[in-house]
Amino acid sequence: MRGEKLTLKQQEFVKNYAALKGNGTKAALETYDTVDYNTAHAIASENLQKPTIQKAIRKELEGKSISLDYVLQNIKENMEAGKGVKASASDSLRAAELLLKVMGAFPNQKKVSTYISAEERYASMTKEELMQERGKQLKFYQEILGG
Give per-residue pLDDT as tens, 68-97. 677 667 766 766 665 555 666 676 677 777
Query: What residues contact 28, with CB distance under 8 A and at least 6 apart?
Result: 13, 34, 39, 40, 41, 43, 44, 47
CATH numbers and ranges of domains, the chain: 1-65 (1.10.10.1400), 67-106 (no CATH), 114-147 (no CATH)
CA distances from 125 to 16, 33, 119, 137 (A): 57, 53, 10, 15
pLDDT of residue 100: 74
CA distances from 55 to 8, 10, 30, 60, 127 (A): 15, 12, 20, 9, 53
Answer yes or no: is pLDDT of 31 > 90. yes
